[in-house]
Amino acid sequence: MPRTVRDVVFVDGVRTPFGKAGPKGIYHETRADDLVVKAIRELLRRNPGLDAKQIDEVAIAATTQIGDQGLTIGRTAGILAGLPQSVPGYSIDRMCAGALTAVTSVAGSVAFGAYDIAIAGGVEHMGRHPMGEGVDPNPRFVSEKLVDESALFMGMTAENLHDRYPHITKLRADEYAVRSQEKAAKAYANGKIQADLVPISVRRTNPEAGETGWGLVTADEPMRPGTTLENLSGLKTPFRVHGRVTAGNAAGLNDGATASLIASEDFARENNLPVKMRLVSYAFAGVEPEVMGYGPIPATEKALAKAGLDISEIGLFEVNEAFAVQVLAFLDHYGIADDDERVNQYGGAIAFGHPLASSGVRLMTQLARQFEEQPHVRYGLTTMCVGFGMGATVIWENPNFDGGSK
């Protein structure tokens, strides 16, 4: 019997505040799976009309699936969050696009009819598990020159992208980074971010004072409001002597988790759940691993073609800021100005942080919030580059679209 493809919607999304990785970071003594648990519980708290027994799947991404990020974290975090044991779960890995891939994976199952509603998200505790921990790259990659050795180091791939686009200078990347910090600070000041943050209680140790105590985290730790070009101009270029990539024009090493509810539109409306975005299309694309930051360009081309849309019809962009050069290459390709008001209206990962596998859902929650505020915008997209040479793009439709009248 032929099946009818169902409309898929983004019901809701939340995230923990993002922290700096390492001993001084807010989550140094907090487990990765506990961050996921907090996000899942918050989704259920915010949507009391959803019976947890109705959840068909829990898909949670992690890039480094080891320790407290291992053990099929979608399943274990679901149990720890208090979901019925009848709710299954699994883990997923597409490096930076982990949570984005969790969303598209469950979305495919919803469209097919296998699921009605699912939880999709991601976590990365880069303080406990640095990217690449425990991996053993096959020596053939380098010995047979399948990839350049720089492909294994994301910062080096960003320098390679600068080489490919020499007109994207360090100054231009720094200028973009300053704007990201300014937009994020403005978004916080206007209360645009806090509504989707899950407060996290954390245990903190101050070895110098010999003290241990508890605190409540309610804001992103990596943000550097007041950043200036002068501040950024003197930063070291750790990936290349006289390079262009610095800690100021790239996302840092971070900890954090995200979670979202993805459902069929019929199910959401029948159960009085919000419909914040409607899925239009998505696509993944591979590129040379040495210039992985180029990935969003072909991924977006594919997603647009599948949707029958032109880039001019996209009214809002959430582009993950792994590196400023990667966003600028994307904007240049489409003839979009560096300061175009449609792009990353609340700021991006350069300010908020980029806990790898969790970031895709952050892009979605921010786009959903903008859709609510801007009913004249019909389409938006979330896109990101992915380690080892990939790009990922999801195009969304605004269910609040009013025909374009402002």
Structure tokens at 217: 């985290």
273-to-12, 80, 122 alpha-carbon distances in Å: 9, 24, 22
Active site residue 376: no
96, 125, 129, 162: which one is catalytic?
A: 96
CB 394 within 8 A of CB 103: yes
Cα torsion through 374, 375, 376, 379, rounded to 10: 90
The DSSP output letter for 66 is S
> Which stretch of DSSP H or E encloses residue 264?
strand 254-264
d(CA 367, CA 357): 18
Tell me the backbone φ, ψ of residue 6, rounded to 5 degrees: -100, 150
* Euclidean distance between the first and the last CA atom of the chain, given in angstroms as a whole number: 45
8-15/19-20 β-pairing: unpaired
d(CA 127, CA 144): 33
Give the number of C-alpha atoms closer than 13 A to the C-alpha of residue 254, restricted to the C-beta side. Answer: 30
Structure tokens at 347: 């700021």
The burial class, CB within 10 Å (0-12 / 13-18 / 19+), for 169 is middle
Residues forming beta bridges with residue 57, ordered by sequence position: none
Active site residue 28: no
CB 60 within 8 A of CB 91: yes
231-to-175, 177, 234, 270 alpha-carbon distances in Å: 11, 11, 6, 53
Q: Which residues contact 13 (CB under 8 A, 6 or more apart)?
A: 43, 196, 258, 259, 260, 261, 276, 361, 364, 365, 368
242, 333, 354, 376: which one is catalytic?
A: 354
Active site residue 354: yes
28, 125, 162, 385: which one is catalytic?
A: 385
The DSSP output letter for 72 is -
CB 106 within 8 A of CB 114: no
d(CA 341, CA 281): 23
Which amino acids are annotated catalytic? Answer: 96, 354, 385
